[in-house]
Chain A
Amino acid sequence: MSAFDCIIVGGGIVGAALADVLCAEGLSVALVEARSIGAGTTACGMGHLVAMDDNAPELALTAWSVALWRELRDDLPMAVEYDACGTLWLATDEEELAAIAAKVASYRGAGVRAEVLDAAALREAEPALTPDLVGALRVPDDAVVYPPRAALHFARRAQQRGARLMPGCPVAELRPDGVVLENGEVLAAGHVVLAAGVASPRLCPDLPISPRKGHLLITQRGAPVVRHQLVELGYLKSAHGSDGASVAFNAQPRVTGQLLLGSSRQPGVGSAQVEPAILERMLKRAADFLPGLDALRALRVWTGLRPATPDGLPLLGRHPGKPWLWLACGHEGLGITTATGSAQLVADQLLGRASAIDARPYAPSRFEVLHA
Chain B
Amino acid sequence: MREACDLVVIGAGPGGLAAACRAAEAGLDVLVLDAQPEPGGQVWRGEARKGTNRLARRWLSRFAASGARFRPGARVVAAPEPGLLLVEEGPSSLAVRYGRLVLATGARERFLPFPGWTLPGVLGVSGLQVLVKDGLPIRDRRVVLAGTGPLLLAAAATIHAHGGEVLLVAEQAPAARHWGFALQLWRYPDKLIQGAVLSAGLAGVRTATESWVLEARGERRLESVRMSVGGREEELACDYLGAAWGLVPNLELARLFGCEVSRGAVVVDDRMETRVPRIHAVGELLGIGGVDQALVTGEMAGLAASEQPVPDALVSAWRRVRVFAEALARHDAPRPELRRLATPQTLLCRCEDVPLSALEGCRDLREARLYARLGMGSCQGRTCGAAAEALFGWAAEDVRPPCLPARIGSLRLPPETPPTPKRAS
Contacts and interface: CB of A to CB of B under 8 A. Distances in A.
Contacts of B407: 294-298
Interface string A255-283: 00000000000000000001011011001
Given A276-B81, A296-B408, A36 B413 contact: no
B402 interface: yes
Given A297-B405, A301-B401, A301-B402, A39 B377 contact: no
What class of interface size applies to chain B in its complex with A? 20 to 34
B408 A39 contact: no
Contacts of B378: 220-221, 299
Contacts of A298: 402, 405-408, 411
B366 A294 contact: no
A362 to B, nearest CB: 28
Interface string B91-109: 0000000000000000000
B371 interface: yes
Contact of B364 (A36, A294, A299): A36
A294 B364 CA distance: 34
Nearest to A286: B408
Contacts of B402: 298-301
The secondary-structure label for the interface of chain A is: mixed
B80 to A, nearest CB: 3
Interface in A286-316: 293-302
A79 B371 CA distance: 8
Contacts of A149: 370-371
A15 interface: no
A299 B80 CA distance: 16
B363 interface: yes
A317 interface: no
Nearest to A280: B413
A202 to B, nearest CB: 21
A217 interface: yes
A152 B412 CA distance: 35
Interface string A143-173: 0000011001000000000000001100000
Given A298-B411, A301-B411, A221 B371 contact: no
A346 B366 CA distance: 30
A42 B275 CA distance: 33
By size class, the interface of chain A is: 20 to 34
B409 interface: yes
B371 A299 contact: no
A39 to B, nearest CB: 6
A294 B413 contact: no
A297 B408 CA distance: 6
A299 B370 contact: no
A252 to B, nearest CB: 15
A277 B371 contact: no
Given A36-B363, A36-B370, A300-B400, A276 B406 contact: no
Interface in B361-381: 363-364, 366-367, 370-371, 377-378, 380
A38 interface: yes
Contacts of B401: 274, 300-301
Given A280-B412, A294-B412, A39 B366 contact: yes
Contacts of B81: 276
Contacts of A279: 80, 411
A106 interface: no
A43 interface: yes
Contacts, number: 75
Contacts of B80: 276, 279
A219 interface: yes
Contacts of A167: 363
A295 B409 contact: yes
B408 A294 contact: yes
A152 B407 CA distance: 33
A346 to B, nearest CB: 25
Contact of B370 (A38, A217, A294, A301): A38
Nearest to A79: B371
A39 B377 CA distance: 19
A137 B377 CA distance: 33
Interface string B277-302: 00000000000000000000000000
Contacts of A152: 371
A39 B413 CA distance: 30
A294 B409 CA distance: 4
B259 to A, nearest CB: 15
Interface in A31-67: 35-36, 38-39, 43
A36 B411 contact: no
Contacts of A217: 408
B366 A221 contact: no
A277 B417 CA distance: 13
A44 to B, nearest CB: 10
Nearest to B414: A280
Contacts of B412: 280, 283-284, 294
Contact of B363 (A168, A277, A296, A300): A168
Nearest to A294: B409
A167 B367 CA distance: 11
B96 to A, nearest CB: 14
A152 B362 CA distance: 12
A219 B376 CA distance: 11
Give 5 closest A-B pairs by Cβ, nearest first.
Answer: A294-B409, A276-B80, A148-B370, A280-B413, A298-B408
8 contacts: A39-B366, A149-B370, A149-B371, A279-B411, A283-B408, A298-B408, A300-B400, A301-B400
Given A283-B408, A300-B400, A302-B400, 4 more contacts: A149-B371, A152-B371, A298-B402, A301-B411
Interface of B: 78, 80-81, 363-364, 366-367, 370-371, 377-378, 380, 400-402, 405-409, 411-413
